[in-house]
Structure 1
Amino acid sequence: MTTYRTLGRTGVKVSPLTLGAMNFGARGNPDHEDGIEIIHRALDAGINVIDTADVYAQGESEQIVGRALAGGRRDEVFLATKFHGRMGDNPHHEGNSRRWIVKAVENSLRRLNTDHIDLYQAHRPDESADFEETIGALTDLVRQGKIRYFGTSVHSPAQIVEGQWTAERRGFLRPVSEQIPYSLLIRSNEREVLPLAQKYGLGVLTYGPLAAGWLSGRYRAGARQPESYRKDWIPDRYDIAAPHNADKLAAAEALATLAEEAGLPLVHLSVAFALNHPAVSSVIIGPRTREHLDTYLGALDVRLTAALLDRIDEIVPPGHVFHLRDTGALPPSVSVSAQRRRHSSASSS
């Protein structure tokens, strides 16, 4: 029997695992019927949260989820989706402006074949949009009945606090959740985001418990480079031969060895670790196949001892991250040179 958790202070009961739908559609598993079957198997196993986004396969993921929930299964699910990323070629069809939010939600409602979204999330911050405008628009959508709650994803600690402060100052509803990467290899959010979530009573949905494949068991010292679209897409983060990935590979190897010594699959150790943090409401899993789903489900029976957690801390210290980009999208203060360099208007002679 599934033991449910509460999403922050909303009172909503959520399963420890959330079914992430990013891999449904052209980007992952293009077989719609297969995706629908995976969703049904997850619901039958007690998962009651599905997380998707409009940008996943440009709406295809939402369509698959909508088809899977047709026929009476919608009420079983706390349905979450996200807005922000570019949809198509129209420059107006992206971001966190009121103009786009009110259009994006209608598009998602149509694709999901539902009259409301339970949790509508800003997929990333938008430096060009006033946070007050974003929260105001989302508050209006709650009052119109189109969404029940709203939250953020990969926002900085300062932005999370700003969201709470803006809502209080302007009399808006407040964001109730934050979605972040969190795993054995990506622990930076233990520094501020997870404590902030506890302080403000925010629900936390974490993604990437396998660190985008690094904890799948395929990244081992001395092994060949695993086949993955990520190596070609983001080579600096996934090339095991790159010198700056040496420490990460060594940690993955040590964690795989630790899992073997504990008699656990590395996948189970990884998911159980993310579930163990007291601020985490639910861990998002992203299976592409039914076999992947069954493997993830096995982690629910794992309980980590204090001694095992201490061993993990010795391999990857609390708060540590190996690659800055593993924390999510970098803010402009880091990624945009004009925001961190004082340029002279005249060349030196």
Structure 2
Amino acid sequence: MAASNQVAFRQLGRSGARVSTLCLGAMNFGNRTEEKDSIEIVHRFLDAGLNFIDTANVYSRGVSESHVGKAIKDRRDKVFLATKVHGRMGDGPNDQGNSRVHIVKQVDESLKRLQTDYIDLYWIHRPDANTPIDETLRTLDYLVNQGKVRYIGLSTFPAWQTMEAIAVSERMNLERFVAEQPPYNLFDRSIEEEVVPVCQKYGLGIMPWGPLAEGWLTGAYRKNKPFPADTRIGRKNLDPNAGYIVERLNAIEALMPIAEEKGATLSQLALAWMIQQPGVTSPIIGPRTMQQLEDNLGALNVELNSDDLKRIDDVLPPKTRLGGKRHWE
């Protein structure tokens, strides 16, 4: 399906910036996706009329950022570029976390790899129990004032820590977070309980990661069929009779007729559903191949009405979580 005629843009939280309703995640770049393919995927995404690209310094220890940098160096003004800081990038005691020393060092390294003078959205990749949030916020405020960073966000924070960060920003007159990047998909709707309401109340855009649930929602895994050996789930040697796996496979069987009625793949249905969820700005897709990207772009042409959304909720109700703990537990 062509995507360009359905591209829309949304406000990034309470900021004035506008981003495309799909975000291209680059986690596979430098890992299972080679440089040439990474660049082609980025160019196809931009040619489809979208502008939001997300990576992180820890993805393949900087290789992902380098691939993105090479892909966008002649198109920088067409891209809303996001990257992250927090994860371990060396063997030293200050080579991870949300401290001033780590962030100040890593932002410069990311800028070099991305071949740019500024980062549009700089995420704190995870909470850091060893660093006071005011130190992190002061550092990010400094980077914004320097012009190295334009907006700031947080990823996979529980609602209480997001609320704490907002309160500290307001009390100390520091730059405020404008977006949250939580795990969210049809199999894990737990953020609807607390994270979504907090984001909506305080003007944070929501950019969900894992919208296809590690590939579960691609249609590759079906009831009474062996898991494909060359897939992420297939390589995990999971017990097909485990309770949550049976629940997921049953849900997939119930969702497939809805997708077929819409002339869509299961992944397109899952992405189209997410685009329409309250508070969501841009789901983050993570295609490994051009074929996967084309499939994901097709979600922009899938229209779901209120009856469709109700049928999906009947299969997987609000606040559902099929298997595992939330990432902040």
**TM-score scaled by length of structure 1:** 0.89
Cα RMSD of the aligned pairs, angstroms, is 1.6
Does 2:19 align with 1:14?
yes
**From 166, 174, 177, the counterpart of 1:175:** 177
Counterpart of 2:193?
Answer: 191
CA distance in 2, matches of 1:51, 1:241: 36
Letter in 1 for 2:197: P
**From 42, 45, 48, the counterpart of 2:48:** 45
Question: Which stretch has the larger CA shift, 226-235 or 113-122?
Answer: 226-235
* Alpha-carbon offset, residue 132 of structure 1: 1.0
* Alpha-carbon offset, residue 88 of structure 1: 3.2
Q: CA contact under 8 A between 1:40 and 1:68: conserved in structure 2? A: yes
* Alpha-carbon offset, residue 259 of structure 1: 1.9
* Alpha-carbon offset, residue 233 of structure 1: 7.7
Does 2:61 align with 1:58?
yes
**From 98, 121, 124, the counterpart of 1:122:** 124
Deviation per residue, 1:295-324 (Å, 9 max, x gap): 111110111111111111111110111123
Counterpart of 1:341?
Answer: none
Does 2:171 align with 1:166?
no
Q: CA contact under 8 A between 2:90 and 2:96: conserved in structure 1? A: no
**Are residues 91 and 232 of structure 1, via their aligned partners in 2, closer, same or farther at CA, if it must alter by over 3 Å?**
farther
CA distance in 2, matches of 1:51, 1:127: 25
Deviation per residue, 1:127-168 (Å, 9 max, x gap): 111111111111111011110011100000101110100101
Letter in 2 for 1:90: G
Does 2:3 align with 1:25?
no
**Unmatched 5+ stretches in structure 2:** none
Query: 1:178-257 counterparts in 2 under 5 A?
Result: 178-227=180-229, 230-231=232-233, 239-257=239-257
CA distance in 2, matches of 1:179, 1:209: 11
Does 2:136 align with 1:131?
no
CA distance in 2, matches of 1:262, 1:34: 30
Q: CA contact under 8 A between 2:229 and 2:235: conserved in structure 1? A: no
SS of equivalent residue, structure 1 residue 214: helix
**TM-score scaled by length of structure 2:** 0.94
Question: Which stretch has the larger CA shift, 84-93 or 45-54?
Answer: 84-93
Deviation per residue, 1:47-96 (Å, 9 max, x gap): 1010000000110000000000112x011111000011111333321111
Q: CA contact under 8 A between 1:183 and 1:273: conserved in structure 2? A: no
**Are residues 234 and 133 of structure 1, via their aligned partners in 2, closer, same or farther at CA, if it must alter by over 3 Å?**
farther
SS of equivalent residue, structure 1 residue 80: strand
Query: 1:309-328 counterparts in 2 under 5 A?
Result: 309-325=309-325, 327-328=326-327
Question: Which stretch has the larger CA shift, 7-16 or 90-99?
Answer: 90-99
* Alpha-carbon offset, residue 261 of structure 1: 4.2
Deviation per residue, 1:188-235 (Å, 9 max, x gap): 111111121111111111122211111110111101023356448866
Counterpart of 1:335?
Answer: none
Counterpart of 1:271?
Answer: 271
* Alpha-carbon offset, residue 19 of structure 1: 0.6
SS of equivalent residue, structure 2 residue 207: strand
Q: CA contact under 8 A between 1:178 and 1:205: conserved in structure 2? A: yes
CA distance in 2, matches of 1:239, 1:20: 29
SS of equivalent residue, structure 1 residue 150: strand
CA distance in 1, matches of 2:24, 2:224: 33
Q: CA contact under 8 A between 2:10 and 2:18: conserved in structure 1? A: yes
Counterpart of 2:8?
Answer: 3
CA distance in 2, matches of 1:278, 1:91: 41
Counterpart of 1:260?
Answer: 260
Counterpart of 1:342?
Answer: none
CA distance in 2, matches of 1:324, 1:101: 31
Q: CA contact under 8 A between 2:69 and 2:116: conserved in structure 1? A: yes
Q: CA contact under 8 A between 1:58 and 1:88: conserved in structure 2? A: no
Q: CA contact under 8 A between 2:215 and 2:232: conserved in structure 1? A: no
SS of equivalent residue, structure 1 residue 9: coil
Structure of higher RCO (CA pairs closer than 8 Å, 6+ residues apart): 2
CA distance in 1, matches of 2:130, 2:162: 17
* Alpha-carbon offset, residue 260 of structure 1: 2.6
Q: How many residues align structurally?
A: 324
Counterpart of 1:340?
Answer: none
CA distance in 2, matches of 1:163, 1:233: 39
CA distance in 2, matches of 1:57, 1:264: 32
Counterpart of 2:300?
Answer: 300
